[in-house]
Amino acid sequence: MLLLELFSNTDINKIMSNLKSKHPELSNYSGFGYCGYGSVLLSKALTERGIQNNIIVGEFFNDTPEGNDAKSHTVEVFTSFNNSNDIYGDIKRRFVQRGNKLPERLGHAVVNVKDTVYDITAEQYNLPNSYPFAKFLAQWKNVYTADIELSKDGDFYLGSVKKKEKLDNDSVEPEVDESQLIDPVTPKIASQADNSMFAKYRRFCEPVEKLSDTITLYYGEGNTRNVYMAAKSEGVEGDEKVVYLMEFERDSNRLLGEFAIQRWLWMDKAYKGELGNLPTRMFNELIDDYFTVIADSEQTPDGKKFWMRQLHTAFGSGLNVYYADLNKNVLKQLQKPGDISRYDFAYGVWTRAESSLEKVFVISSKKLRVTK
């Protein structure tokens, strides 16, 4: 795979220009109707060059300056349609019958790379072929990632559009079962029922609290990582079983100051009732002790849901939420819950790609200094 940084905005615009030369229909009436077809062609071309990308679709113009501007230019495009053309002529006739009003349900497809949209049929909205992803979100009421299938028999070569993840402002706090936070790529987790796991951590952990008659919470500081561990015992020495484990590291840099990184956590679902909301409680302990916590980018799907819930909760708890690129020393503050999915989508925070390992979400009780 080629690194995205090797391809500039100019390079991708050149790819779009070559595609439009090979497929002249992408320029007919500013490409109206062919956005899905063009986006599939562009996405394929970028993927072949090792550039990670997604097709996204927007539907229903937003009542915003960006949405209203796009709507007015679409009216101009409809007015320019030739009545003698079978497809465009029919669209124009219905447009006139409605009193020169656009159909209620209009949509548009583009290709997204990081925080930039590449729009191969952007002329219909009087836009450049590349612009910020935030502008697309402002233009359309509903925005989704999508899979598009083409068909030679369909109008504008369009077969079907399958909407996937919604990316608009109405992000909903995800549900998560805190008992499902096991990381399958961590070999030692597979033997969690073996009391040798307890023996390993007990060497440097001390009991700090009785969670129940049979479960004790331990804390310890290792050579590289610190540990909170809950172990269950029925009163027989040597039968202790680890039922919760959370490892974290302490670190500091010029961008964030001092912070904690919660590397991974696990809880035995058989003891969920006895442990309750222990993962959330221990997360709050990290905030209280270290003020700033990084959401580790290497997450399982359930681990991601846990972090997403903490991020959503932070907005309502007076905490500050940020996106950070630790390699490039970039720090941006998120203003609302809907920004979480935007930044995740634009920067690939939750991917396991090596280039994403330093792209993280940050929760802090302190006001950090953002970069320009």
Nearest-Å Rg of the Cα atoms of the chain is: 26
Does the pLDDT value for residue 93 go beyond 50? Answer: yes
Domain-embedded: residue 179: no
- 25 and 131 in a single domain? The answer is yes
pLDDT at 300: 54
Of 168-172, 219-223, 234-238, 324-328, the range with the highest mean pLDDT is 324-328
**Domain encompassing residue 41:** 4-166
- 141 and 37 in a single domain? The answer is yes
Q: Which structure tokens are listed for 91?
A: 């669209």
- 156 and 215 in a single domain? The answer is no
pLDDT at 118: 93
- Per the CB < 8 A criterion, the answer to whether 283 and 178 are in contact is no
Distances (CA, A) of 95 to 69, 78, 81, 92, 274: 18, 7, 10, 5, 63
Task: Enumerate the β-bridge partners of residue 276.
Answer: none
Distances (CA, A) of 87 to 30, 84, 350: 15, 9, 43
pLDDT at 292: 93
Q: What is the pLDDT averaged over residues 169-177? A: 44
Asked which of 186-200, 201-215, 286-300 is least confident by mean pLDDT, the reply is 186-200
Instruction: State how beta strands 320-325 and 330-333 pair.
Output: antiparallel
Domain-embedded: residue 346: yes
Tell me: the pLDDT tens digits for 237-259?
A: 667 888 888 888 888 888 998 89
Mean pLDDT taken over the chain = 80
- 83 and 197 in a single domain? The answer is no
Domain-embedded: residue 333: yes
- 153 and 214 in a single domain? The answer is no
- 11 and 121 in a single domain? The answer is yes
Indicate the pLDDT class of residue 302, thresholds 50, 70 and 90: low
Indicate the pLDDT class of residue 303, thresholds 50, 70 and 90: low
With a pLDDT cut of 70, the percent of the chain lying above it is 82
Does the pLDDT value for residue 70 go beyond 70? Answer: yes
Does the pLDDT value for residue 110 go beyond 50? Answer: yes
In what helix (H) or strand (E) does residue 92 lie, and over which residues does it extend?
A: helix 86-97
DSSP 8-class letter at 74 = H
Does the pLDDT value for residue 86 go beyond 90? Answer: no
